Structure 1
């Protein structure tokens, strides 16, 4: 019986997305409405999250759902419908954020916080369905090389700014082994800037483990 882990299209990006969501929710929970910079920073992170979430679901619609449908008709139906609902929720959150930006008020801030909390909660359940039911279909029908090719097409569709954003959340979300695998899988010219980013994002212990895994003799 093969017990080796299968190629998982969902787990890495979902780790980053879960951290991005919970960190943003935490930011909104403690917004200081009397501090213009704090408000601007919190709302900017919210907008970055909403844009990333929108692009992420589009990548799944464009590159993963067609493969699911080829092998099991209707397999992507529930999640595709939820994606449409997520786009509506993203639009609502943007509208509420604009109201708060224009006229900071405690009730408006708390309403936005609760709305984001509900969005995050629904997304956590949504991602679990993808990581279980969708992966069951993909693993039964596709070899790991086929799944890697799908991921390659997704990555090819992502521009440099979006990739930088995802790396910013992947690095702290990953465990030490995953971080090392991520960096060794990058083109050589991309490794130094990603390592510099990792140094700024990781604590001393996590950074030391990454240096050891990559056999880096000197700190950056």
Structure 2
């Protein structure tokens, strides 16, 4: 039985969406009407989400970490200071982009692109510390039931729609076996809503991922669509 990992799946989803944002910002036609505001809003939404994620970790994971492995918790605190600076620099660039004169937009777009990638670089280093320092410390000093309780407490803090949104962000980045295990747990928890659940959580999957999920679950896709 695999160990409970408090970071793995959500971090995979974050990496995928950060990389996608960087690629799409770099390739965007910023001269199109509304494009500057759209790209700025996407960057601001991402930093807001990552700040909220850090708050969730601090509330539900890092309190236990501070109790059991304070040195690992100190390492994360230092990372947060560096991340806050990167978030702030990106936000400043993003807020300025929509008001940039059209002739200066290409340079402003590239400056935002660089700020985004600088933030991503800092964030990837932060994820690495959580995955290679914090999680091993928790495995060493906290019991399985305590780690399971962290998961339970976080899930209980989310509304049903927030929980589904979390999954829609995460599932496309996971390997098929992990995706199937998560969705099977949801379906088994409420069999009467199985079709609706499948349809809802699979909206962000590619067609191939969606077909594979239904095959792994042993249900026809047309059955799942009946939940619409």
Q: TM-score, normalised by structure 2?
A: 0.85
**Are 1:198 and 1:207, in contact at CA under 8 Å, matched by a contact in 2?**
no
Higher relative contact order (CA 8 A, sep 6+): 1
| Inter-CA distance 53–34: structure 2 relative to 1 (3 Å threshold) | same
Distance 2:201 2:51 in 1: 25
| Inter-CA distance 180–78: structure 2 relative to 1 (3 Å threshold) | same
How far 1:206 sits from its partner (Å)?
Answer: 1.8
| Inter-CA distance 80–194: structure 2 relative to 1 (3 Å threshold) | farther
How far 1:118 sits from its partner (Å)?
Answer: 1.1
How far 1:96 sits from its partner (Å)?
Answer: 1.1
Q: Which residue of 2 aligns with 1:97?
A: 94
Alignment of 1:133-144 (within 5 A): 133-144=133-144
Deviations 1:105-148 (A, max 9, x none): 11111111101101111211211111111111111122222111
**Are 1:15 and 1:173, in contact at CA under 8 Å, matched by a contact in 2?**
yes
Name the stretch that deviates more: 5-14 or 98-107: 98-107
Distance 2:24 2:185 in 1: 32
Q: Which residue of 2 aligns with 1:42?
A: 39
| Residue from 11, 16, 20 that aligns with 1:14 | 11
How far 1:42 sits from its partner (Å)?
Answer: 2.6
How far 1:173 sits from its partner (Å)?
Answer: 0.5
Alignment of 1:1-220 (within 5 A): 4-103=1-100, 105-159=105-159, 162-186=162-186, 187-188=189-190, 192-219=195-222, 220=225
**Are 1:61 and 1:80, in contact at CA under 8 Å, matched by a contact in 2?**
no
**Are 1:63 and 1:150, in contact at CA under 8 Å, matched by a contact in 2?**
yes
How far 1:159 sits from its partner (Å)?
Answer: 4.1
Q: TM-score, normalised by structure 1?
A: 0.88
Which ranges of structure 2 fall in alignment gaps of 5 or more residues?
Answer: none
Deviations 1:82-113 (A, max 9, x none): 11332232222122111002225111111111
Q: How many residue pairs were aligned? A: 217
**Are 1:183 and 1:191, in contact at CA under 8 Å, matched by a contact in 2?**
no
Which ranges of structure 1 fall in alignment gaps of 5 or more residues?
Answer: none
Distance 2:110 2:118 in 1: 12
How far 1:162 sits from its partner (Å)?
Answer: 4.3
Distance 2:72 2:24 in 1: 36
